[in-house]
Amino acid sequence: MSDVTIKDIARMAGVSHTTVSRALNDSPLINPETKERIKSIAGSLNYTPNYNAKSLVLDRSYNLGLFFTTLHQGTSSGFLYAALRGVNEVIKDGYNLIVRGIDDYTSFHHVNRKSFDGIIVMSQSAADQPFIEYAAQRAIPLIVLNRQIEMDGVWNLVPDDQSGAYRMTEYLLQCGHRRIAIIEGKPGFKSSHARKEGYLDALRSAGIEPEDELCMRGEYDFESGYQAMVRILELKDRPSAVFCSSDDMALGAVKAAAERGVRVPDDISVAGFDDTLYSAFITPALTTVRRPIEEMSRAGAEKLVAFIEKKHVEDHKRMFRTELVIRDSVKPISEGD
């Protein structure tokens, strides 16, 4: 059936396979009439090039990789969907999109330049670092989304955590909160720093001097959020709102409060960050900050394809605007409270 090759076409057209190859690739060397004739024969034979052979000689795979930190533990379906949609919208017919969880690989043996024209890593954790370095070292065009990273030659598109945190804090202030605690992210992480800076900026803009007492260490995970909230609730002068640097920690915070008979949001407001899927389902539904996953993915894929196809690409870093998602876990406080 589909086993017709350029040699078959060559025989029919009475030319060499070289001419056929050139004609089908629109080489300017070929006589326009010959070219048309060859193309019409190819069309009528329903010719499809053998991409494996092309790949071999052209040193291109026509494969793009979209890698997630994990596909089976923790990645939310909404996150996956948004990323896949974003990338898929952009890539042309000529590419295959290969989707995989990094933790599915027992070795990175199959990850090399011959197999991937380019790779998009939707990074959710520092556990991806070895993979990213491996790919970078193999000189595969690489773009890392979502998680901030410092590597030369690797593009990096991340959500603007700082302004997200700024606007969330601003929102809490608008709701009348004056004493607002923060539970910080993992120490040393860029995102932790950015989110805290946004928080601090917003407070200062409102003329409120941040208090060290209200800044709690966290690790981005459920447990650390729980622990931090316990400490917050023990403060003599308890804050009326807590900004958590991740939804996971917010979940822990809500649990700690509930266990101590402190109601969210009636007694204390809790805000998160990330808008993970469950955020909408828990009680109370979490007020949080959404990261623009689909937009980032689209931009990342565009950039990657443009680079592969040799168009020049300039800037290596970019921030994407985050968005406030207002649900039920933050409550305005009336003046008299």
Partner DNA sequence: TCATGTTGTGCACACGTTAACAATCATCAG
Partner DNA sequence: CTGATGATTGTTAACGTGTGCACAACATGA
Q: How far is the CB of 44 from a second copy (least distance, A)?
A: 15
- Does 326 bind a second copy (CB under 8 A)? Our answer is no
Two structure tokens written together for 335: 């003046």
Is 284 a residue that touches a second copy (CB under 8 A)?
no
Closest residue by Cα to residue 292 from 117, 102, 160: 160
DSSP 127: G
Interacting stretch for a second copy, rule CB under 8 A, among 17-25, 35-43, 132-140, 171-179? Answer: 132-140
List, in sequence order, every beta strand (DSSP E) within 77-125.
Answer: 96-101, 118-122
Question: Which residues contact DNA by CB under 7 A?
Answer: 3, 5-7, 14-19, 21-22, 24-25, 29-32, 34, 49-50, 53-54, 56-58
Q: How far is the CB of 36 from DNA (least distance, A)?
A: 11
User: What is the sign of the dihedral through the CA atoms of 268, 218, 213 and 231?
Assistant: positive
Report the relative pairing of strands 269-271 and 288-290 from DSSP bridges.
Answer: unpaired
Q: Smallest distance, Å, CB 120 to a second copy? A: 13
Joined tokens for residue 140: 């595969």
Alpha-carbon span 160 to 227, nearest angstrom = 27
CA distance 238 to 134: 48
Cβ of residue 190: shortest distance to a second copy, in angstroms? 28
Question: Could you tell me if 324 and 289 are in contact, meaning their C-beta atoms sit under 8 angstroms apart?
Answer: yes
Q: Which of DNA, a second copy, none does residue 63 bind to, with CB < 5 to 8 Å depending on kind?
A: a second copy
What's the angle, vertex CA 213, arms to CA 208 and CA 215, rounded to 5?
80
Q: Which is closer to DNA, CB of 52 or CB of 73?
A: 52
Q: Which does 125 bind (CB under 5 to 8 A by kind): DNA, a second copy, none?
A: none
Dihedral (CA of 291, 297, 299, 304) sign: positive
Measured from the CB atom, the residue of 5 and 63 that comes closer to DNA is 5
The total number of residues shown for the chain amounts to 337
In the complex with DNA, which residue's Cβ is closer, 10 or 257?
10
Instruction: Specify the residue, 72 or 92, whose C-beta has the smaller distance to DNA.
Output: 92
Q: Which is nearer to a second copy, 137 or 334 (CB)?
A: 137
Shortest CB 94 distance to DNA, Å = 12
Which span sits near a second copy by CB under 8 A: 24-32, 44-52, 222-230, 263-271?
44-52
For position 21 contacting a second copy by CB under 8 A, the verdict is no
28/261 with CB nearer DNA = 28
Q: Which residue has the tokens 């803009």?
A: 205
Which of DNA, a second copy, none lies near 153, with the C-beta cut-off 5 to 8 A by kind? none
Whole-number Cα distances in Å, 220 to 85, 252, 296: 27, 10, 22
Reading the block at residue 38, the tokens are 């060859």
Binding flag, residue 72, a second copy (CB under 8 A): yes
Cβ partners under 8 Å of residue 167, min gap 6: 198, 202, 289, 322, 324
Q: Between residues 25 and 283, which has the closer beta carbon with respect to DNA? A: 25
Member of 137, 188, 314, 315 binding a second copy (CB under 8 A): 137
Q: Which is nearer to a second copy, 228 or 293 (CB)?
A: 293
CB 245 within 8 A of CB 260: no
Contact 242, 270 (CB under 8 A): yes
CB of 16 to DNA, least distance (A): 4
Residues that bind a second copy (CB under 8 A): 1-2, 48, 50-53, 55-56, 61, 63, 71-72, 77-78, 80-82, 84-85, 88-89, 93-94, 96-101, 104-107, 109-110, 112-115, 137-139
